[in-house]
Chains A and B, each alone.
Chain A
Amino acid sequence: MVSLAIPQHHEVSEITEVASRPILQGGIRFWLIAGFFAIFVAAGIGAYAYQVMHGLGVTGYNDSVFWAVYESNLVAFIGISYGGAVTSALLRLAGAGWRAPIVRMAEAMALVSLCVGALFGIIHLGRPDRLLELFTRPHATSPIVWDFLAITTYIVATVVFLYLPLIPDLGAVRDFVGPRVGGWRLRVYRILALGWRDLPVQRRIVEQSMTVVAIVIIPLAVSVHSVLAWAFGVTVRVGWHSTILAPYFVVAALLSGVAAVILVVYAFRRAYHLEEYITVKQFRYLSYLMLALGLGYLYLTISEMLTESYVLDEQTAPLLQSMLIGSFSPFFWFFLIVGGAIPTLLVVLPWTRTPAGIALAALLTVVGMWVKRLVIVIPPLEQPVFDRVARGYQVSITEILVTLGATAAIPLLLMLFFRVFPILSIDEIHEVAEEELAAHHERHEEFTGRGPVRAEGGVR
């Protein structure tokens, strides 16, 4: 008999079988869903091609509002990535056992959303062909140069952070599932598993490396989002020139990242029936994390708005007016009510604190936080600088299509990623199950006063 916390099937071969469901189960349903997302991605690529051919004039940009939806997407998608990576790294360093079934999805989501988000740095350029000048003619005082350095470093760190815990799992997939899959995927498993045989020296090296990267990735992610915030904060724009902007961005990123992790976990859990490993416990703990971060973000929002509105200088007044009762008030109040208050209630009330309720709260948070990024980026740019003429911004169909395409690219890339790589962290689930089993036997011995009990079925 095992405790309820331990899945019935905790042997590596059995966990591998469950973790490889997306690899083994393709089928028409998979391709239909992938095709659905691919249509949006294709539309987005088409819209961007149109933009490259006709210039940034096809967007709603003007000489005053030169950052809009694209910059909001950059901040939002990189924020989601940051949240996924930091959640995984923190739980790993804290040794939280419940993390094991969800870290792979969090890390994969971090990489995918980062790659999509980083593209917006190029998409919102009027002359993307001049991107090379970041290398050939870098200017040390430009925040964009540092943004570029920070994001590329973070991409590399995220790849390493995703790959290291994959090594033991790829060894398991190679041995138990690989022969059935065959072809190029088996070759990929053989190459990337690096000859993994679960030897003590191999385990020691991989675990040491994972700890180092988990430690490195946290300050790195904080720095990436801070540099992004400083690209706004070092300007004299009203609403941006604020000392609180970097921590404000970091907390927002964590919040939207945790919410996105919940969404991804919920979707794949339902699609591949992973309820045995991903239980209500994971959703509950993630929702507590989301709630705490949400309250932290609310605190920073109140702090920022209170100090600005109390002084209410001549430049701030129209901005606050625009956000609270003016043209951007629907967005601001949507963020506060739909993206903040309702998710909080869904998590706080016990009868809505179910996986479905928490997933709904996460969805509203992700959408609400994206809308908040619009409120951060656009209204300050609409405020006049040289004269008193406010220049409005009207989103164009090109921007909408590119945004939809990028949003659809995240689930599509995740689906394709898990067609090749195991969706669960096999080795970590096995390790946690073994630890829990050993603890259970210890308690059993203490209670009965008998000798050691052998684990049912043994371990590998």
Chain B
Amino acid sequence: MTARRWSVLVVVFALSMSVAWPAIAHAAAAPTKIVMQTPNALPVQKSDPQSVMVLGAMLSTADGKPVANQKVEFLMVTDILGKTQASVGTVVSDSGGSARTTFVVRKTGPYQFTAKFAGNDAFGPSESPVLKADFEALPSKVQTQLVDLRQVGGMLPWAALALGLAIWAVLIVVLVRVAVVVPRAARGAGPRGA
């Protein structure tokens, strides 16, 4: 085999490896599994709005060995304009394969979360099953009595409109008065220079 053929062979090998390597590497990566954990009492818990929920995930290999120092992304599954996943945060797993983040519950209702590991050369990707949680409002600690302000609220636009119209009226009266009185006074004074 001539040197020219060898060089062609090397180039072809290099090109094919650059294309195929990610697939080969991925196939060689250890499979992983990821499971969501929640220290809070889920799936149903009563909560004040603004309360903080801790989301946790355990990343491990298929045989249960913890996978440390890998990025785990927590996602909230939403139904706004179709099924989408909104990122809650990305956390690096600790030596025990555990990753934790917090989520502020802004309103009551059902929530769905999932955790994702994108995978790399050493470990394959994985996604946890969806974790469902339902937040019900706690009775308020402060006893308040609702005051019905609808009547006052209903009057406000009319008051503002009346004020606006009053200003318009003042401006129109001023302008009309000037436009009428000034020329009339000039006419009453006789011809100019007289």
Question: Is B152 in contact with chain A by the CB < 8 A criterion?
Answer: no
Contacts of B170 in A (CB 8 A): 212, 216
Distance in angstroms between the alpha carbons of A149 and B164 in the assembled complex: 8
Contacts of B29 in A (CB 8 A): none
Question: Is B149 in contact with chain A by the CB < 8 A criterion?
Answer: no
Question: Is B76 in contact with chain A by the CB < 8 A criterion?
Answer: yes
Q: Which residue of A lies closest to B158 (CB)?
A: A140
Distance in angstroms between the alpha carbons of A40 and B76 in the assembled complex: 47
Q: Which residue of A lies closest to B89 (CB)?
A: A388
Distance in angstroms between the alpha carbons of A6 and B76 in the assembled complex: 75
Contact B80 A213 (CB under 8 A): no
Contacts of B78 in A (CB 8 A): 386-387
Contact A201 B185 (CB under 8 A): yes
Contact B186 A209 (CB under 8 A): no
1/0 per position for A199-220, CB-CB distance to B under 8 A? 1011001100100110010001
Q: How far is the CB of B8 from chain A (nearest CB, A)?
A: 47
Contacts of A156 in B (CB 8 A): 168, 171
Q: Which of B36-44, B57-65, B135-143, B172-180 contacts A (4 or more CB under 8 A)?
A: B172-180
Contacts of A163 in B (CB 8 A): 175
Contact A388 B181 (CB under 8 A): no
Q: Which residue of A lies closest to B88 (CB)?
A: A388
Distance in angstroms between the alpha carbons of A214 and B80 in the assembled complex: 52
Picked from A141, A209, A386, the residue with its CB within 8 Å of the CB of B177 is A209
Contact B182 A205 (CB under 8 A): yes
Distance in angstroms between the alpha carbons of A197 and B188 in the assembled complex: 11
Contact B168 A206 (CB under 8 A): no
Contacts of B23 in A (CB 8 A): none
Contact B175 A386 (CB under 8 A): no
Contact B164 A153 (CB under 8 A): yes
Contact A195 B178 (CB under 8 A): no
Contacts of A387 in B (CB 8 A): 76, 78, 86-88
- The interface centre, meaning the residue of A146, A163, A201, A387 with most chain B CB atoms within 10 A of its CB, is A387
Contact B167 A197 (CB under 8 A): no
Distance in angstroms between the alpha carbons of A153 and B80 in the assembled complex: 40
Distance in angstroms between the alpha carbons of A202 and B167 in the assembled complex: 24
Q: How far is the CB of A241 from chain B (nearest CB, A)?
A: 15
Question: Is A45 in contact with chain B by the CB < 8 A criterion?
Answer: no
Contact B88 A199 (CB under 8 A): no
Contacts of A146 in B (CB 8 A): 160
Are A153 and B167 CB-contacts (below 8 A) given A205-B182, A387-B76?
yes
Question: Is A319 in contact with chain B by the CB < 8 A criterion?
Answer: no
Q: How would you classify the secondary structure of chain B's contact residues: helix, strand, loop or mixed? A: helix
- The interface centre, meaning the residue of A167, A199, A209 with most chain B CB atoms within 10 A of its CB, is A209
1/0 per position for B114-157, CB-CB distance to A under 8 A? 00000000000000000000000000000000000000000001
Contact A194 B178 (CB under 8 A): yes
How many A residues have CB within 8 A of the partner chain? 31
Q: How far is the CB of A271 from chain B (nearest CB, A)?
A: 32
1/0 per position for B64-76, CB-CB distance to A under 8 A? 0000000000001
Distance in angstroms between the alpha carbons of A237 and B52 in the assembled complex: 20
Q: Which residue of A lies closest to B154 (CB)?
A: A140
Question: Is A164 in contact with chain B by the CB < 8 A criterion?
Answer: yes
Q: Which residue of B lies closest to A175 (CB)?
A: B192
Q: Which residue of A lies closest to B74 (CB)?
A: A388
A176-226 interface (Cβ within 8 A of B): 194-197, 199, 201-202, 205-206, 209, 212-213, 216, 220
1/0 per position for A357-390, CB-CB distance to B under 8 A? 0000000000000000000000000000011110
Question: Is A173 in contact with chain B by the CB < 8 A criterion?
Answer: no
Contacts of A206 in B (CB 8 A): 178, 182
Q: How far is the CB of B32 from chain A (nearest CB, A)?
A: 24
Contact A199 B189 (CB under 8 A): yes
Contacts of B88 in A (CB 8 A): 387-388
Q: How far is the CB of A276 from chain B (nearest CB, A)?
A: 30
Question: Is B5 in contact with chain A by the CB < 8 A criterion?
Answer: no
Q: Which residue of A lies closest to B190 (CB)?
A: A197
Contact B187 A195 (CB under 8 A): yes
Q: How far is the CB of B186 from chain A (nearest CB, A)?
A: 3
Contacts of A199 in B (CB 8 A): 185-186, 189
Contact B167 A194 (CB under 8 A): no
Distance in angstroms between the alpha carbons of A220 and B157 in the assembled complex: 17
Contacts of B179 in A (CB 8 A): 194
Contact A220 B182 (CB under 8 A): no
Question: Is A160 in contact with chain B by the CB < 8 A criterion?
Answer: yes
Question: Is B11 in contact with chain A by the CB < 8 A criterion?
Answer: no
Picked from A160, A205, A389, the residue with its CB within 8 Å of the CB of B86 is A389
Q: How far is the CB of A161 from chain B (nearest CB, A)?
A: 9
The chain A residues found within 8 Å of chain B, CB to CB, are 140-141, 146, 149-150, 153, 156-157, 160, 163-164, 167, 194-197, 199, 201-202, 205-206, 209, 212-213, 216, 220, 314, 386-389
List 6 additional contacts besides A202-B186, A386-B78; criterion CB under 8 Å: A156-B171, A157-B167, A160-B175, A195-B183, A388-B87, A389-B87
* Sample of 18 A–B contacts (CB below 8 Å): A149-B160, A149-B161, A153-B164, A194-B182, A195-B182, A195-B186, A196-B186, A197-B186, A197-B192, A199-B186, A201-B185, A202-B181, A205-B185, A209-B175, A314-B104, A387-B87, A389-B86, A389-B87
Nearest 4 A/B pairs, CB to CB: A195-B186, A387-B86, A140-B157, A194-B182
